[in-house]
Structure formats: C-alpha cells, structure tokens
Amino acid sequence: MGLSTAWALLRQGFDVHLLDQAAPPNAAATSVDHHRLIRHAYGAQRGYMRMVDDAYAAWGRLWADLGEVLHIPTGVLALDDTAGDWVRETRAALRADGRAHEDLTAVQVAARFPYLSGEGITDAFFCPAGGVLLAERIVAALARHVVAQGGVIEVARATSLDPARAILTLEGGATRSADVLVVAAGPWIPRLLPEIARRVTPSRQVVVRLEAPSEAWKTAPMLLDLAAGGGFYLVPPVAGTPLKIGDHSFSRLGHPDDDRTPDPVEVERILALARKRIPGIEGFARLGSATCFYDVEPDERFVVEPLGPRAWVMSGFSGHGFKFGAVLGERLAGAIAQPETAARLPAWAAGDEVIPA
Ligand SMILES: Cc1cc2nc3c(=O)[nH]c(=O)nc-3n(C[C@H](O)[C@H](O)[C@H](O)COP(=O)(O)OP(=O)(O)OC[C@H]3O[C@@H](n4cnc5c(N)ncnc54)[C@H](O)[C@@H]3O)c2cc1C
C-alpha cells in the first residue's frame, strides 16, 4: 500500500520519502509472497466486486510504468458443498452486472478439472476473469521504480507518530516530518496507532506450498472451495511458483514479530481442508509452509481514512487487499493532491458502492 501510494504520488509530481523497517521486499510483510489472487467473485460485496475493474485498470498503468506484466490470468473456479450463500450470492452479483461466468455441476467439474474430485459439490461456477498477481515480484519492481523516479526509501523503524503535525519518531529518537504522512504499516499498525488497534487485529495465517504432480495443474484455475468443515483456496503453480493452499478463517492470534514457524498441527489442518477435493494430495511433494499476517477489520472493510488534515491511514485489509494496492494508491494520491475530492474515499475503500469523483 505504501509503495503503491508512493508510485502514484510520484506520478503526480510529489517528493516522496518512504520508511520501512526492512528493505523491500521485506519477507515478513503481508504483501511479500509468491502470489496474491485477483477475482471478481466477492459474495454479496458488490462494491469490492466492481472495484476489481478499477484495480485492473490501475495495474495496467503500473505494468506500463514497470515495463512488465506481473499478472497471470487463470480464471476462478468456485465450489460449494454447503447450504451456504456465498457461491449463490456471488453468481447473483456477477449476473446482475452481466459478467461472464459458467455454472457447472459436480460431474462437469470433475470432467473438466480431472485432478479435482466432484464429491459433494452442490453448486459451482467458473469465471474466466481473474488471476494471480506475482506479489513479491511486484513489490520488488515497485521499490526499484519508486527509487528510479526519485523517491527515497529509508530503512528505519518508526516507534510513534504525531498525525496532527505529520511527524514520525524512529528507533533511536530521530524524527522525520512531511507535509502529509501516510501510515501503511500492515499488521504492525496497532502498535503505532492505538485508535486503530480497537478496530484492526493481526491474524496469523498459515499457507502450505506443494509441488504439483502433473502438467495439468499449470493451467488450473484458482480454486475457492467452500465446505461445511471449513473451506480453502488454492493458487495454481503459475510462472514457476509452487501450488499453494490456505484458508480464509481468521485466527486473530499472534503478532507479526513472533516466531513464525508453522506448527505441524497448523499445516495438517490446512492439508485436511483440501484432502477431499484433491485426491492424492498426501503424495504431493511438500515445498514448505509459511506464516503470514492479515490485518483484520471485523467486517473485512478497508480503513483508508484521514487522521486529521495532514495524515492518512491505510489498514484493515483483512486478507483481501493486495489486488487493490495500485488503485488504492492512486485514489489516495488523488485525495492528497485534491483534498476537495477526499471526502468520498473512505466509504468507497470500505466497499460501499460509492464511486469517488
Ligand atoms: C496468506 C495470505 C494470503 C492473502 N491472499 C490475498 C489474495 O489472494 N488477494 C488479495 O488481494 N490479498 C490477499 N492477502 C492480503 C494482502 O496480502 C494484504 O491485504 C496486503 O498485502 C497488505 O499490504 P500492506 O501494504 O497493508 O501491508 P504490508 O505488506 O505488511 O506492508 C507494511 C509495511 O510496513 C512496514 N512497517 C510496519 N511497521 C513499521 C514500523 N513501525 N516502521 C517502519 N516500517 C514498518 C513493514 O515492514 C511492511 O513492509 C493475503 C494475505 C495473506 C497473509
């Protein structure tokens, strides 16, 4: 979020000074992993579904500046074996906007994606739009680009901030000041902004990386599997990355500076979610597992809000923010450049169907 905002501010002609506690790409940051998914499938959250169009347009502008496209189209396969609403509500939202999607039966799922079992599927659709953002490569390329455009990246840890005066205090006591301060500290934010700590909770999430056993997986769609015993998502092995599975149930546990070694019980819990859908998954070579941190807002609504006239906070991305990084950066830079347009940004970022000017 910080790098995207820096990119967009530089495009608007601002001087930008970025601070990070480690040089980007910082492996501990939420944005730094092989991949992050971008999809219109958003349940009943139509604001975020529509924001994905803006997100793709912003990524297009970023790819043009970076000179490379760091997105692999895969499409989205969504499955349900519960009496839940998510797949049904997503389909209704896609249909209402005339977005391409194809309903599938359990038999059709198993025939078209033979590495999956159709067992228990009660509802499914395939959506051709959507894909994988190569997250770590994006963060690294953005950091290089920001510096090439005259931005400064300083490696230092902020210990406190004064939003009213746009001043940061660093470890060791030095301070940095600016005309405008943007605080985008991912899951570390509660320590910097106690008022946000009441709304945003760090949440330890484990992912498991596997070697896909057949070439067929290389053209697999992203998979969103909603299941009665707990659902999971799967990222296919695109562009030389591993196949990855994880879940979207918030642990709401831990702190990003804690030991991140995944416990075997956590790894087993993730694998168990996928076992029914992916026959033979026990035999897939394990390439490792990792712990990443969400910054969870109770309703999964992003917090992009002013902290007075000279500071903004970007937080509460609740495990679904990466896809919107470029567009949120652009919109916040726009609000900083033209404060008269800023009033509508928080509601739009929170997923309400308000289109900012
Ligand atoms: C397992 C997992 C899967 C996900 N899947 C998806 C997905 O498929 N699609 C999607 O859209 N989103 C997904 N997300 C969410 C997405 O990755 C995040 O919403 C997004 O990356 C958040 O970016 P950020 O810039 O807010 O935080 P970060 O990337 O964490 O950046 C915050 C930066 O602030 C720095 N910092 C923090 N505190 C200080 C300090 N005191 N001083 C100096 N620097 C500091 C950190 O070092 C870090 O570099 C997923 C997240 C996880 C964990």
pLDDT tens figures, 145-189: 999 999 999 999 999 999 999 999 999 999 999 999 999 999 999
Q: How many beta carbons lie within 10 A of that of residue 242, not counting itself?
A: 21
CA of 170, closest atom in ligand 1: 42
Going from the Cα of 186 to the center of ligand 1, the distance in angstroms, rounded, reads 5
- Per DSSP, 262 falls in state P
pLDDT at site 109: 98
Give the residue carrying structure tokens 């470890």. Answer: 171
Query: What is the pLDDT averaged over residues 60-80?
Result: 98
Spatial contact of 317 and 203, defined as CB atoms under 8 Å apart: no
Beta-carbon-side half-sphere exposure of residue 193 (alpha carbons within 13 Å): 28
Long-range (24+ apart) CB contacts under 8 A made by 42-45 are 42/90, 42/93, 43/85, 43/86, 43/89, 43/90, 43/93, 44/85, 44/89, 44/90, 44/92, 44/93, 45/300, 45/351
Query: What is the pLDDT averaged over residues 61-80?
Result: 98
Residue 280 confidence class, pLDDT cut points 50, 70, 90: very high
The pLDDT of residue 356 is above 60: no
Atom 1, ligand 1: residue with shortest CA distance: 292
Q: Output the pTM of the full model.
A: 0.97
Taking all residues of the chain, what is their mean pLDDT, rounded to a whole number?
A: 96
Spatial contact of 175 and 167, defined as CB atoms under 8 Å apart: yes
pLDDT at site 286: 97
200-222 pLDDT, tens per residue? Answer: 999 999 999 999 999 999 999 99
Query: What is the pLDDT averaged over residues 191-195?
Result: 92
Spatial contact of 59 and 324, defined as CB atoms under 8 Å apart: no
Tell me the CA distances in angstroms from 252 to 134, 151, 177, 296, 317, one per residue in order. 26, 35, 33, 8, 13
Helices 46-66 and 135-148, interaxial angle, to 10°?
50
The pLDDT of residue 224 is above 90: yes
3 state SS of 341: helix
- Please give the share of the chain, as a percent, with pLDDT higher than 90: 95
Overall residue count recorded for the chain in this entry: 357
3 state SS of 235: strand
Which residues contact residue 176 at a Cβ distance below 8 angstroms, ignoring those fewer than 6 apart?
A: 17, 19, 154, 167, 168, 170
- Per DSSP, 144 falls in state H
The pLDDT of residue 238 is above 70: yes
Beta-carbon-side half-sphere exposure of residue 14 (alpha carbons within 13 Å): 24
296-305 pLDDT, tens per residue? Answer: 999 999 999 9
Give the residue carrying structure tokens 């359990």. Answer: 106
Tokens standing for residue 189: 């934010």
Pocket of ligand 1 (CB under 6 A): 1-2, 19-22, 26, 29-31, 36-37, 157-158, 184-188, 192, 205, 207, 246, 292-294, 314, 317, 319-323
pLDDT at site 84: 83
- Per DSSP, 279 falls in state T
Going from the Cα of 127 to the center of ligand 1, the distance in angstroms, rounded, reads 27
pLDDT at site 354: 59
**From start to end of 12-157, where are the E strands?**
17-20, 36-38, 71-73, 76-80, 102-103, 123-127, 131-133, 152-155
Going from the Cα of 115 to the center of ligand 1, the distance in angstroms, rounded, reads 32
Query: What is the pLDDT averaged over residues 79-100?
Result: 93
- Please give the share of the chain, as a percent, with pLDDT higher than 70: 99
C-alpha span between 246 and 319 (Å, rounded) = 11
Closest CA to 97 of 55, 59, 48, 36: 48
- Paired with 53 in beta bridges are none
Beta-carbon-side half-sphere exposure of residue 290 (alpha carbons within 13 Å): 16
